């Protein structure tokens, strides 16, 4: 993505639009769409279109209307029109989602619907971005069951208990639309991060008793980036934007748990966990802090008010959900 | 007098007594008592990476402590608030998980019935005190001062557990409180961007890079200062600021701003502990 690429602010100010502006009539809505033609434009820019807003129209319907009747050069990806294929995700008013199952009426901010390409990707043209890094990371986690050679035994071939199945099902809805990748805070700063979708996918196969590859499926990525999983900043955006309501944050956390089990966690997080185990808190209230609190007239907060945490934390292993 | 159990968490008492002190002073001014209970520990958040079930047990144990006293919990840290609310939500909505948690609590001599309510200090101010009341107490208006609101990630996320309070994508409650002081809450690019604090112990470069992104956006919007309500954000934007660049952007904790606007002496609001000095800005409004 060009460094100068415009991004949304809360009040969606209009600038640099000049004569292309128009006024929305009754029953119409203004679409503010990011345009960029690498052959002509030095910078991406916004252009506004008036689109009929009839009940039931989706943001994709709006884009199709623009392309069919106003500007055939507008480029965007779309296919199934029913929230299954995952190809039409864009940023709508700053938040990513497939536009085929997003109603126009629910997404008018200050009289407009602002449509931008997914973030955290290189911009190719208009609303089309280069998804290669996303797919490459998915591929590198080996997104399939590695169940070894197929042997006929005459017994049940696969034994997946209800709990495992429930856990797998939680993640199965992913349509690889890239919304979580686009709204990922850590990825904006560090493009090496594997991103939520790939972790959720890796977690799905690690939980599958038929799979034999397990945590090894991360080796390839780890060799390349070192910190494939730990760069999640726990901002919670992926869970908010997932159109399939996958509990991404929980999957990432469970996934981290499995790395802790093998003692593969970063030193900083290990130390933090040990502090909680030892003191019931992350930071020790040292003499300086205690004196400072006293001087300020704040409650003393004894540093060892948590001996009863020990039994919980001493148990060998928690009960995974 | 309204009473709430204050949940201090780990970061605030050890590193941000200025946030805690100002919250205490503002509460006093509003006739609110913040009660310190014996037996609160870490909310459990950092433990989620090691063991999600044990983390939930730590959270619920804290809620059991408050339930015994019959007090609502008010947190200063957004992450404590979110972590406790999430655990409570799970306890109340997932019978199977609840059973396992109850069992774990029993082992350590605690019981919990799902009655504790948890809110962030800011939300409590917004809902129980109200913007109008806050406005009426302002004697030192911050007129003409442009401030950038920093909500922090966990004030409203995961939104599924916050009962529809505020809008996680375009929130307004903190802006309204900032504007109650007479200040202008300025808009800036990607105002919901994350400070990156959770990555400080993992990859400092990425973490600080995330902080820089937001500081740059706030500076570009011409803000005189920044207001935060999360101690993790406070570490990044205030404590780390000078190591990232010469922004000279004072960072207030929301109760520090309110306290100053209410006429409380800045010395009593812990401004001495803020790394980026707000002296000039406070002088501008006569504090």
Domain positions in chain B are 2-120, 134-284
pLDDT, residue A148, reads 72
Of the candidates B49, B53, B108, the beta carbon closest to that of A308 is on B108
pLDDT in tens, A242-294: 999 999 999 999 888 988 888 888 899 999 999 998 888 898 888 888 899 99
Alpha helices by DSSP H, chain B: 11-15, 17-29, 52-69, 78-93, 95-107, 121-124, 131-136, 173-180, 204-220, 231-234, 241-244, 254-261, 279-284
Higher pLDDT, B82 or A283: B82
pLDDT, residue B287, reads 82
Q: DSSP secondary structure string, B17-44?
A: HHHHHHHHHHHHHTTEEEEPPTT----S
Q: Does B24 touch chain A (CB under 8 A)?
A: yes
Which of A7-11, A293-297, B247-251 has the largest mean confidence?
A: B247-251
Q: How confident is the model at residue B147 (pLDDT cuts 50, 70, 90)?
A: very high
Cβ distance A9 to B189 less than 8 Å, yes or no, reads: yes
Average pLDDT over residues B184-202: 95
pLDDT, residue B276, reads 97
Of the candidates A240, A254, A283, the beta carbon closest to that of B15 is on A283
Name which of A209-223, B71-85, B262-276 the model is least confident about.
Answer: A209-223
Q: Is the pLDDT of residue A145 over 50?
A: yes
Q: How confident is the model at residue A154 (pLDDT cuts 50, 70, 90)?
A: low
DSSP 8-state secondary structure symbol assigned to residue B275: S
Q: Is the pLDDT of residue A23 over 80?
A: no
Higher pLDDT, A221 or B198: B198
Cα gap A211→A208, rounded to integer Å = 6
CA B284 to chain centroid, in Å, comes to: 26
SS3 A259: helix
Higher pLDDT, B60 or A314: B60
Of the candidates A11, A190, A289, the beta carbon closest to that of B187 is on A11
Contacts of B52 in chain A (CB under 8 A): 250, 253-254, 257, 318, 320-321
Q: Which of residues 213-272 of B touch A (CB under 8 A)?
A: 213, 270
Q: List the structure tokens of B176.
A: 């309204």
- Strands B184-186, B146-150: pairing is parallel
Q: How confident is the model at residue A152 (pLDDT cuts 50, 70, 90)?
A: low
Q: Is the pLDDT of residue A114 over 70?
A: yes
Alpha helices by DSSP H, B16-111: 17-29, 52-69, 78-93, 95-107
Q: Is the pLDDT of residue A133 over 70?
A: yes
Cα gap B243→B232, rounded to integer Å = 16
Domain ranges (residues) in chain A:
18-130, 132-265, 268-314
Q: How confident is the model at residue A156 (pLDDT cuts 50, 70, 90)?
A: low
Q: How confident is the model at residue A108 (pLDDT cuts 50, 70, 90)?
A: very high
Alpha-carbon dihedral of residues A311, B15, B191, B188, nearest 10 degrees?
A: 180
Cβ distance A265 to B49 less than 8 Å, yes or no, reads: yes
Q: Which of residues 46-105 of A touch B (CB under 8 A)?
A: 93-95
Q: How confident is the model at residue A20 (pLDDT cuts 50, 70, 90)?
A: very low
Q: Does A291 touch chain B (CB under 8 A)?
A: no
pLDDT, residue A1, reads 40
Q: How confident is the model at residue A160 (pLDDT cuts 50, 70, 90)?
A: confident
Q: Which of residues 146-205 of B touch A (CB under 8 A)?
A: 153-154, 157-159, 168-170, 187-191, 193-194, 196-203, 205
Question: For residues A145 and A55, is the Cβ–Cβ distance under 8 A?
Answer: no
Question: For residues A119 and A183, is the Cβ–Cβ distance under 8 A?
Answer: yes
Q: Is the pLDDT of residue A321 over 50?
A: no
Cα gap B111→B115, rounded to integer Å = 11
Helices B17-29 and B254-261 cross at an angle (nearest 10°) of: 40
Class of the CATH domain delimited by B134-284: alpha beta
| A130 min Cα distance to partner chain B (Å) | 22
Cα gap B280→B287, rounded to integer Å = 10
pLDDT, residue A6, reads 44
Q: Is the pLDDT of residue B116 over 70?
A: yes
CATH architecture of A132-265: Orthogonal Bundle (1.10)
Cβ distance A306 to B52 less than 8 Å, yes or no, reads: no
Average pLDDT over residues B94-110: 93
pLDDT, residue A278, reads 86
CA-closest candidate to residue B89, choices B144, B141, B142, B165: B165
CA A65 to chain centroid, in Å, comes to: 29
CA angle, A182 then B239 then B190, to 5°: 25
Mean pLDDT computed over every residue of chain A: 85
Q: How confident is the model at residue A184 (pLDDT cuts 50, 70, 90)?
A: very high
CA-closest candidate to residue B77, choices B27, B11, B30: B11
Higher pLDDT, A104 or A159: A104
Q: Is the pLDDT of residue A200 over 80?
A: yes
Cβ distance B104 to A93 less than 8 Å, yes or no, reads: no
pLDDT, residue A153, reads 67
Sheet holding A89-92, edge to edge: A45-52, A28-35, A112-116, A89-92, A95-98
Cβ distance B201 to A276 less than 8 Å, yes or no, reads: no
CA angle, A182 then A185 then A187, to 5°: 65
SS3 A47: strand
Q: Which fold has domain A18-130?
A: Ubiquitin-like (UB roll) (3.10.20)
Q: Kindly state the percentage of chain B with pLDDT values over 70.
A: 100
| A108 min Cα distance to partner chain B (Å) | 13
Size of interface A-B (CB pairs under 8 A): 203
Cβ distance B41 to A306 less than 8 Å, yes or no, reads: yes
Nearest CA in chain B to A234: B198
SS3 B276: coil
Contacts of A9 in chain B (CB under 8 A): 187-191
CA distances from B10 to A282, B20, B68 (A): 6, 12, 22
Average pLDDT over residues B38-43: 92
CA angle, B255 then B259 then B263, to 5°: 170
Cβ distance B199 to A233 less than 8 Å, yes or no, reads: yes
Q: How confident is the model at residue A26 (pLDDT cuts 50, 70, 90)?
A: low
Of the candidates A10, A236, A301, the beta carbon closest to that of B157 is on A236
Q: Return the bridge partners of A97, or none.
A: A90
* Global pTM value: 0.92
Name which of A215-224, B138-147, B222-231 the model is least confident about.
Answer: A215-224
Q: How confident is the model at residue A157 (pLDDT cuts 50, 70, 90)?
A: low
Cα gap A19→A2, rounded to integer Å = 25
CA-closest candidate to residue A49, choices A59, A62, A37: A62
Class of the CATH domain delimited by B2-120: mainly alpha
CA angle, A245 then A251 then A255, to 5°: 165
Question: For residues A180 and A251, is the Cβ–Cβ distance under 8 A?
Answer: no
DSSP 8-state secondary structure symbol assigned to residue A78: -
- Mutant choice from A12, A309, A315, A317 vs B, greatest count of B C-beta within 10 A: A309
Cβ distance A268 to B15 less than 8 Å, yes or no, reads: no
CA-closest candidate to residue A114, choices A34, A44, A50, A52: A34
Average pLDDT over residues B24-51: 95
Question: For residues A279 and B14, is the Cβ–Cβ distance under 8 A?
Answer: no
Q: Is the pLDDT of residue A18 over 90?
A: no
Contacts of B235 in chain A (CB under 8 A): none
- Strands A128-130, B73-75: pairing is unpaired
Q: List the structure tokens of A211.
A: 């799979």
CA-closest candidate to residue A231, choices B211, B80, B200: B200
Q: How confident is the model at residue A221 (pLDDT cuts 50, 70, 90)?
A: confident
pLDDT, residue B63, reads 97
Of the candidates A276, A296, A309, the beta carbon closest to that of B21 is on A296
CA distances from A299 to A280, B26, B35, B272 (A): 17, 16, 10, 19
Cα gap A275→B227, rounded to integer Å = 30
Cα gap B118→B120, rounded to integer Å = 7
Of the candidates B14, B46, B210, the beta carbon closest to that of A189 is on B210
Mean pLDDT computed over every residue of chain B: 96
Of the candidates A240, A311, A318, the beta carbon closest to that of B53 is on A318
DSSP 8-state secondary structure symbol assigned to residue B237: I
Contacts of B61 in chain A (CB under 8 A): 308-309, 312
Cα gap A301→B42, rounded to integer Å = 12
Q: Kindly state the percentage of chain A with pLDDT values over 70.
A: 84
pLDDT, residue A306, reads 52
| A245 min Cα distance to partner chain B (Å) | 11
Average pLDDT over residues B244-250: 97
Cα gap B134→B186, rounded to integer Å = 20
- Mutant choice from B17, B48, B51, B60 vs A, greatest count of A C-beta within 10 A: B51
Q: Is the pLDDT of residue A31 over 80?
A: yes
Q: Return the bridge partners of B148, or none.
A: B186, B226
């Amino acid at each position: 993505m060009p460094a100068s690429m415009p991004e949304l602010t809360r009040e969606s100010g209009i600038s640099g639009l000049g004569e292309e502006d128009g006024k929305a009539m009754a029953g119409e809505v203004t679409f503010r769409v990011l345009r960029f033609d690498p052959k002509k434009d030095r910078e991406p820019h916004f252009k506004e279109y008036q689109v009929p807003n009839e009940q039931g129209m989706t943001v994709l319907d709006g884009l199709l209307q623009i392309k069919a009747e106003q500007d055939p050069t507008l480029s965007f990806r779309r296919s199934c029109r029913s929230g299954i294929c995952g190809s039409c995700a864009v940023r709508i008013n700053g938040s990513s989602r497939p536009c085929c199952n997003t109603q126009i009426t629910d997404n008018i901010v200050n009289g407009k619907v602002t449509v931008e390409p997914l973030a955290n990707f290189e911009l190719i043209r208009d609303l089309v971005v280069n998804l290669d890094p996303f797919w490459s990371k998915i591929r590198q986690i080996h997104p399939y069951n590695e169940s070894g050679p197929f042997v006929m035994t005459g017994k049940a071939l696969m034994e997946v208990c209800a709990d495992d199945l429930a856990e797998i099902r939680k993640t199965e809805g992913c349509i690889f639309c890239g919304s979580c990748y686009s709204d990922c805070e850590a990825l904006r700063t560090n493009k090496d991060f594997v991103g939520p979708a790939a972790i959720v996918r890796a977690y799905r196969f690690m939980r599958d008793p038929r799979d034999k590859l397990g945590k090894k499926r991360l080796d390839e990525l780890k060799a390349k980036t070192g910190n494939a999983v730990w760069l999640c900043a726990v901002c919670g955006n992926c869970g908010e934007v997932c159109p399939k309501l996958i509990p991404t944050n929980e999957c990432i956390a469970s996934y981290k748990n499995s790395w802790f089990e093998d003692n593969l966690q970063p030193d900083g997080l290990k130390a933090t966990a040990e502090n909680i185990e030892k003191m019931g808190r992350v930071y020790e209230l040292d003499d300086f802090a205690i004196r400072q609190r006293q001087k300020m007239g704040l409650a003393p907060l004894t540093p060892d008010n948590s001996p009863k945490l020990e039994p919980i934390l001493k148990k060998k292993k928690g009960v995974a959900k | 007098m309204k009473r709430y159990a204050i949940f201090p968490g780990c970061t605030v008492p050890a590193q941000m007594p200025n946030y805690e002190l100002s919250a205490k002073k503002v509460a006093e001014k509003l006739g609110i008592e913040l009660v310190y209970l014996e037996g609160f520990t870490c909310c459990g958040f950092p433990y989620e990476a090691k063991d999600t079930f044990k983390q939930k047990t730590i959270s619920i144990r804290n809620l059991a402590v408050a339930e015994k006293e019959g007090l609502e919990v008010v947190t200063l840290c957004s992450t404590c608030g979110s972590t406790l609310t999430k655990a409570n939500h799970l306890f109340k909505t997932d019978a199977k998980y609840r059973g396992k948690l109850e069992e774990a609590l029993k082992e350590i001599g605690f019981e919990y019935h799902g009655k504790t309510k948890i809110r962030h200090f800011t939300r409590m101010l917004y809902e129980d005190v109200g913007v109008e009341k806050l406005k009426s107490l302002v004697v030192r208006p911050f007129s003409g001062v442009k401030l950038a609101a920093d909500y922090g990630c966990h004030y409203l996320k995961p939104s599924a557990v916050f009962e529809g309070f505020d809008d996680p994508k375009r929130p307004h409650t903190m802006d309204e409180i900032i504007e109650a002081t007479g200040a202008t809450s300025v808009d800036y690019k990607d105002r919901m961007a994350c400070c990156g604090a959770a990555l400080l112990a993992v990859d400092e470069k990425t973490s600080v890079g995330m902080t820089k992104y937001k500081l740059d956006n706030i500076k570009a919007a011409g803000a005189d200062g920044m207001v935060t309500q999360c101690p993790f954000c406070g570490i990044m934007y205030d404590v780390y600021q000078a190591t990232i660049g010469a922004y000279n952007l004072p960072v207030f904790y929301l109760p520090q701003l309110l306290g100053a606007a209410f006429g409380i002496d800045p010395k009593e609001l812990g401004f001495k502990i803020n790394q980026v000095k707000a002296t000039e800005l406070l002088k501008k409004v006569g504090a």
